[in-house]
Amino acid sequence: MSDISNCYNKRFIWVASLCIAFILNLPQFSAAYTLADRLGFQRSIVDYRSRLNSNYKKVKRKQTKYIIVHTSELGRKMTLRVVSKGKRLRNGRKTNGGHTHYVIARNGRTYRIVDKKYEADHAGLSMWNGETNISKISIGIELVGYHYAPITESQYRSVGILIDILQRAYGLGDRAVLTHSQVAYGKPNRWFRKNQRGRKRCARNFIREKAEVGPTWAYDPDVRSGRLLADLQLSKIYYGRREYYAKTDDANIITKINTAWSIAGEDYDSQTTVYKFPGGHIYTGDQISAKIGWGRIPAKTVVLLNQENSISLIKSDDPIKTISDQLTAWSFAGQAYNFKSTIYFLPSGRIKVGSMISDWDDLPAKTRLIVGYRGPYELYKDRSAYEIAGRKYKDRKTIYYLPPKKLLAGDKINDFNGLPKGTLIFLPNT
């Protein structure tokens, strides 16, 4: 009898062990978001599917293994256009759109671009744990913004809830949540002789804890296996100290350790990548090799991505800058976009200093701005431009605002006695 009892006990222990192991291996979903959070979020999603390029082919995804987080490297309006309608390739051809499943704007507003059951062409040349073409087995989420600028708290909340919803729908754990820069890889180039990690940099500023997502992998499986060469910068970010990126405010500026490849990845030599040298000279990626040489790019050069139609605006040395669909306040002012010394002239005629701006992506196209200025100083009958600006009253860096909406540099004004009432002067800080 005792033998039978022992047999049952052993079988019970064995079954119990299997059950415990099964439970421990189940995906652990975030407890930070309630059912009400998830339902409310789903109701708030803007359905953008009707804007998809008519040439986009809907192919049902056979398997979902990953959720890939991206940064768009553009503002909201241009991001929505590119992921829906398509982007121009180096050979001049244009893609058919459908480049993500979701877009999350800076204010947290979420747009559904492609139904989650279909494939979206969002990961490009990619590999994870030996599997390639990650687009076919994953869902893509685009966060509006740059990989070298902070992600907003509203975006973190929205992407956190969305990831939680998708994890529950597909039974995915936190290690299934990866960034594009983790999975993208590149072919041999002037920096690497073999296939390597680092083709893309997007979402390297994604802090998982802020989205209530658990830790990522402790290592890159494709680097460890020898399938790919490591990218040292990305290795530090993902598999080293968590704080590494958070302290890198100038991640789009060339330094001894921050190369064109580190910033732009495979787009380093693209005609849509712009290099703005410290002295003001502007070159596109396809000009650097012949005119400068990749080893001779000076430190403090600013690198801007995805500047397909904005080269002329960037090349202008006019202190008055103009926001467009591709050039945002961050493109011109960087982290100084919300400083008091950055002054915005809105199309409506309103004037705002940076400290009045909630986010760089809230400003409409055709907004003009000046960076590093003080003022305004108003002209009066007994207060001339010379009394305000001294000998620099005619200088190209001294800016005049003529009501209702005209902006002129000092060297563009012929008759200072004829300036209208209410004219304001803005002076550079240095």
Residues facing 345 on adjacent strands: 351, 368
- 29, 168 contact by CB (below 8 A): yes
Same domain, 316 and 398: yes
- Asked if residue 2 belongs to a domain, the reply is no
Same domain, 187 and 240: yes
Same domain, 182 and 317: no
- Asked if residue 340 belongs to a domain, the reply is yes
pLDDT tens-place string over residues 47-85:
999 999 999 999 999 999 999 999 999 999 999 999 999
Q: What is the pLDDT of residue 351?
A: 96
pLDDT tens-place string over residues 96-155:
999 999 999 999 999 999 999 999 999 999 999 999 999 999 999 999 999 989 999 999
Q: What is the pLDDT of residue 191?
A: 84
Q: What is the pLDDT of residue 241?
A: 64
Same domain, 155 and 289: no
Question: Among the residues of 127-270, which ranges form H helices?
Answer: 153-170, 180-183, 221-224, 232-239, 260-264
Residue 148's domain comprises 35-247
Query: Is 15 a residue whose pLDDT tops 80?
Result: no
Q: How confident is the model at residue 182 (pLDDT cuts 50, 70, 90)?
A: very high
Q: Torsion over CA of 146, 150, 234 and 198, rounded to 10 degrees?
A: -10
Q: What is the pLDDT of residue 309?
A: 64
Same domain, 303 and 313: no
- Asked if residue 126 belongs to a domain, the reply is yes
**Domain tally for the chain?**
3
pLDDT tens-place string over residues 343-388:
999 999 999 999 999 999 999 999 999 999 999 999 998 899 999 9
- Asked if residue 14 belongs to a domain, the reply is no
| pTM, to two decimals | 0.85
Strand order in the sheet with 351-353: 321-322, 368-371, 342-345, 351-353
- How are beta strands 138-143 and 66-71 bridged, if at all? parallel
Q: How confident is the model at residue 19 (pLDDT cuts 50, 70, 90)?
A: very low
Locate the DSSP E strands across 316-372. Answer: 321-322, 342-345, 351-353, 368-371
Same domain, 189 and 147: yes
- Asked if residue 255 belongs to a domain, the reply is no
pLDDT tens-place string over residues 213-260:
999 999 999 999 999 999 998 999 999 865 554 444 567 889 888 889
Q: Is 115 helix (H, G, I), strand (E, B) or coil?
A: coil
- 142, 83 contact by CB (below 8 A): yes
Query: Is 31 a residue whose pLDDT tops 80?
Result: no
Same domain, 378 and 277: no
Same domain, 298 and 369: no
Distance CA 333, CA 338 (A): 9
- Asked if residue 179 belongs to a domain, the reply is yes
Q: Average of pLDDT values for 158-185?
A: 98
> What CA–CA distances, in Å, run from 404 to 124, 322, 359, 410, 427?
48, 17, 25, 18, 19
Residues facing 112 on adjacent strands: 47, 102
- Asked if residue 144 belongs to a domain, the reply is yes
Map 376-414 to HEC letters: EEECECCECHHHHHHHHHHCCCCEEEECCCEEEEHHHCC
Averaged pLDDT of the chain: 89
- Asked if residue 165 belongs to a domain, the reply is yes
CATH number for the domain that contains residue 98 = 3.40.80.10
| Nearest partner of 63 among 137, 128, 127, judged by Cα | 137
Same domain, 205 and 298: no
Higher pLDDT: 342 or 255? It is 342
pLDDT tens-place string over residues 254-268:
988 888 988 888 889
